[in-house]
Amino acid sequence: MIDTKIGLTQLLTTLNAWGIIISPELAATALTHSSYAYENDTDSNERLEFLGDAVLELVVSERLFRTYPTESEGELTRRRSKLVCEPALAYSAQRLQLGSALRLGRGEEAQGGRNRSALLADAVEALLGAVYLTGGLAAAQLFIEHLLDPYFSGQFEAGIDYKTTLQEKLQADGHGDIKYQLLRSEGPAHARQFTVGLFVDGIFRTQGTGSNKKEAEQEAAKKLLQKLSK
């Protein structure tokens, strides 16, 4: 059984490093799935998710409005839909390692709920709602800037899971053994960089770097996809 208190402590430490202060109690509620709430007679994160969803759309819409002053409503809408979609939010949850902090009921835990994209995306929205309640719009904007930085900076294209896309392509081409191996980690604890190697059928193909192993793996998969498309 995962000790979610450890995951919560790590999450709060990350948020503090971003300049965001939130009470442990409110953060815990934001990470409480309805299955856990039902079994333990406590509040779930559904109301916070409702609030966070609205805040997310507002903040991302303003960010895109200011960043792309010449784009039409339709173009901005398409950009926004990619940033607030389930894959983008689920990947952001993985970067925050939210899975280890989620409070799940026994059934949801047994079914692998910690890795379910929909559940992770909902938790991100709920956490955003908690951040907004605590620090207002400025805190919410700061949270989203950090959370979606790989997309805002162009490091990743929103809505694409490069690892899954690569796996499907390689398997279709007859390659079955795809592995990611940590090559090195460098830097201080609060700004560590991880480098991961990507091996296909035992042969090194490329490597990626990121602020955590999952981010580095996505970067490596993206690089190989780009090579294969040439």
Active-site residue set: 53, 125
- 25 CB-near residues (< 8 Å, 6+ apart): none
How far is 55 from 185, CA to CA, in rounded Å?
Answer: 35
Are 30 and 126 within 8 A, CB to CB?
Answer: yes
Which runs of consecutive H residues, i.e. helices, occur in the chain?
A: 4-17, 24-30, 34-40, 46-67, 73-83, 86-96, 106-110, 117-147, 149-152, 162-172, 213-228
Backbone angles phi, psi at 103, to 5 degrees: -100, 110
How far is 97 from 171, CA to CA, in rounded Å?
Answer: 28
